[in-house]
Amino acid sequence: MSGDIVLSAGIRSNLLALQDTASNIQTTQTRLATGLKVNSALDNPIAYFTASSLNALAGNLGNLLDSVSNAVQTVQAANNGITSITKLVQSAQAIAQQALQSAATTANTVGTVSALTGTSSFAVTSGSTITISDGTSTATITSTGNVTVNQILTAVNGAAGLKVQAELTANGSISLEATGANAITIGGTATAPELAQFGLASGTTAAGSVNATRSSLATQYTALLKQIDQLASDAGFNGVNLLAGNSLQVTFNAAGTSSLVLQGVTFNSAGLGISASQSSFQTNTSIATAQGQLTAALGTLQNQAASFGTNLSVIQIRQSFTTATINTLQTGANNLTVADSNLEGANLLALQTRQSLATTALSLAAQSQNAVLRLFG
């Protein structure tokens, strides 16, 4: 076109070099300003979208990591609860032992025959009876030809309102203990020899008295069980209480294919199998029952603590693994998109030097055209 400006080859070459350098300077300055060598898909589509995918996965794992952290605290809260409940159970054991050291003062009769078992059976005339009475209520065992030790124990312990407890002693003798200030009367139509097979004899054991120390300790024992119930209900975290029957599922990956389910337990006194003190601890039998329950409860607590400890270890290992994985993903994304500030700074300096040289070259090219004009002067 007639209006076009015609540039010499030298000037045009230097101009193109200046434009290219200016563009590179702008790109380098952007990288230094943003800290990224890939700022959009236009810069490098493959690196941009790969880094975006890696960052998205790292973000999802970061969200899961929050729930994993909550799970750690939930298990820790349950473990703290078990530790405290264990101390309360041990205190209850001490109370039961103290009660046992205070001698019973209620009526008590022990059979004269030892080495009996629950299945020990003896002939008693069919239709004859053996009765155990506290003066108000009576347990009656009617023979069908034979009577077992278990029949006597079950009848006594199951009779409504009867203030007598029956058990076999450590050496296998039948023991009858009054649970209050009442007498114990053995009777019935069974003959003396028939009763003697069980180590029993007709007659009345005089009423004793209620042991005030044991009654007081039984009250303390019941109060401890209430504290166990309250503590178990307070051992939760963020609305989840593993000691109150709640369960918790911990997810470890974004796909939800890797997880751990923590099964909750009920660790109040009833859940641990600990019942309130029987007969205000007036009988050795009731104290022995409590001691057996407490020993079993301690074993249950120890086993569950071990189980929670194993689960907590797994969760913490997965927590560390997830944290490391997030770091790996973010590092990979950064390697694809983050600029090397040292390299880009050196590039900028080189480009600025090149720009200065190109400007000088352009000036020299222009001077050569001026020399031609002077020929016409």
Distance between CA 157 and CA 173 in Å, rounded?
Answer: 16
Neighbours of 74 (CB within 10 A): 26
Q: CA angle, corner 238, sides to 236 and 241, nearest 5?
A: 25
Q: Give pLDDT, residue 2.
A: 47
Run of H or E residues at 333 = helix 284-337
Cβ of 33: how many Cβ atoms within 10 Å? 11
Residue 347: other Cβ atoms inside 10 A: 18
Q: Transcribe 56-67 into DSSP letters.
A: HHHHHHHHHHHH
Phi, psi dihedrals of residue 8, rounded to the nearest 5° = -70, 160
**Class of the domain covering 58-102+213-329:** mainly alpha
Tens place of pLDDT per residue across the chain (377 aa):
445 655 556 666 666 766 677 666 676 666 666 667 777 777 778 888 888 888 888 888 888 888 899 999 999 999 999 999 999 999 999 999 999 999 999 999 999 999 999 999 999 999 999 999 999 999 999 999 999 999 999 999 999 999 999 999 989 999 999 999 999 999 999 999 999 999 999 999 999 999 999 999 999 999 999 999 999 999 999 999 999 999 999 988 888 788 899 999 999 999 999 999 888 999 998 999 999 999 999 999 999 999 999 999 999 999 999 889 888 888 888 777 766 667 666 766 776 776 676 667 666 666 655 555 555 55
What's the pLDDT at 351? 64
pLDDT for 98: 96
Structure tokens given for 262: 């923590």
The b-or-e profile of 257-287 (16+ CB within 10 A means b, else e) is eeeeebebbebbbebbebeebbbbbbbbbbb
Distance, in Å, from the CA atom of 176 to the CA atom of 159, rounded to the nearest integer, reads 14
Strand 203-205 to 184-187 pairing: antiparallel
pLDDT at res. 1: 45
DSSP percent split of the chain into helix, strand, coil, nearest 5: 55, 15, 30
Per CATH, domain 108-209 is 3.90.320: no
Domain range summary for the chain, segments of one domain joined by +: 58-102+213-329, 108-209
The phi and psi torsions of 40 (rounded to 5 degrees) equal: -155, 175
The C-alpha torsion from 367 through 373 and 375 to 377, rounded to 10°, is -120
Around Cβ 57, how many Cβ atoms within 10 Å? 18
Q: How many CB atoms lie within 10 A of CB 136?
A: 9
Query: What is the C-alpha separation between 118 and 186, in angstroms, rounded?
Result: 19
